[in-house]
Amino acid sequence: MPTLESLLQQSAERHRNHLCPRQVLGARMGLYAGELLDVEFPQRDKRVFCFVETDGCLTDGIAVATGCWWGSRSMRLVDYGKTAATFIDTHTQRAFRITPTLTARKRAYAYAPDAPDKWHAQLQAYQVMPTFELLCAQQIKLTLDLQKIISQHGLRVVCEQCDEDIINERFVERNGTRLCLACADGAYYEMDAIPITLPRLSAVVLAE
């Protein structure tokens, strides 16, 4: 199992060699989840699925520690703006939600008394603070269908309104018509009235 130091180095590399307290929290949360679920991290498969409740630095710390990544579809954002994450063992259905303790920030100076400010105190303290002082874990039950979120790999349909591909079963049927979520419920964007057209490729380029 990688050391915390090596995980933080990996996380820092994703931030132009910058390390912050939230990255440390994320890595510690991931390591703690591995202990609670009794699984080997970082995972090489997709056994553990993670819901994160904020984006940013925390998620990189979690990702390097657990192997749960956006790209492998084993991490999903539920944007509550909270420093919290839930880890689910898809084999056993056991799930734990982990957050920092309410006293962790205040206790930082006890573990980093020479730190120049709160930020540096947290950065140093979160690396050495005992887990029971730093993190709080609660076993939970999901109120949603995780299998529906994970979905069926490789399934592809075409929206019958916009003609765009839909993967991972992210379509709905309305009156017998298959639609993407944007067409069915409204999108987060509006199309420009004038579409961008690329220069037509020559026959020579196409032939290559």
CB 59 within 8 A of CB 26: yes
User: What pLDDT is stored for residue 148 in this prediction?
Assistant: 87
For residue range 134-176, list pLDDT tens digits in order. 999 999 999 999 988 888 777 899 999 999 999 999 999 999 9
For 73: left if phi > 0, alpha if psi spans -120 to 50, otherwise beta; the answer is left
User: What pLDDT is stored for residue 199 in this prediction?
Assistant: 66
- Domain architecture of the chain: domains with CATH: 4-148 (3.30.1330.130), 151-188 (3.30.60)
Strand 48-52 with 75-77, pairing: parallel
User: What pLDDT is stored for residue 153 in this prediction?
Assistant: 72
Mean pLDDT of the chain: 92
Return the SS3 of 76.
strand
CA of residue 42 relative to chain centroid, distance: 14
For residue range 80-123, list pLDDT tens digits in order. 999 999 999 999 999 999 999 999 999 999 999 999 999 999 99
| Token output for 111 | 């573990």
User: What pLDDT is stored for residue 154 in this prediction?
Assistant: 72
User: What pLDDT is stored for residue 191 in this prediction?
Assistant: 79
Neighbours of 61 (CB within 10 A): 30
User: What pLDDT is stored for residue 201 in this prediction?
Assistant: 55
User: What pLDDT is stored for residue 206 in this prediction?
Assistant: 46
**Residue 90 buriedness (CB in 10 A; 0-12 / 13-18 / 19+):** middle
For 151: left if phi > 0, alpha if psi spans -120 to 50, otherwise beta; the answer is left
User: What pLDDT is stored for residue 55 in this prediction?
Assistant: 95
CB 179 within 8 A of CB 172: yes
For residue range 115-128, list pLDDT tens digits in order. 999 999 999 999 99
| Token output for 16 | 């132009």
Average pLDDT over residues 171-200: 85
User: What pLDDT is stored for residue 131 in this prediction?
Assistant: 98
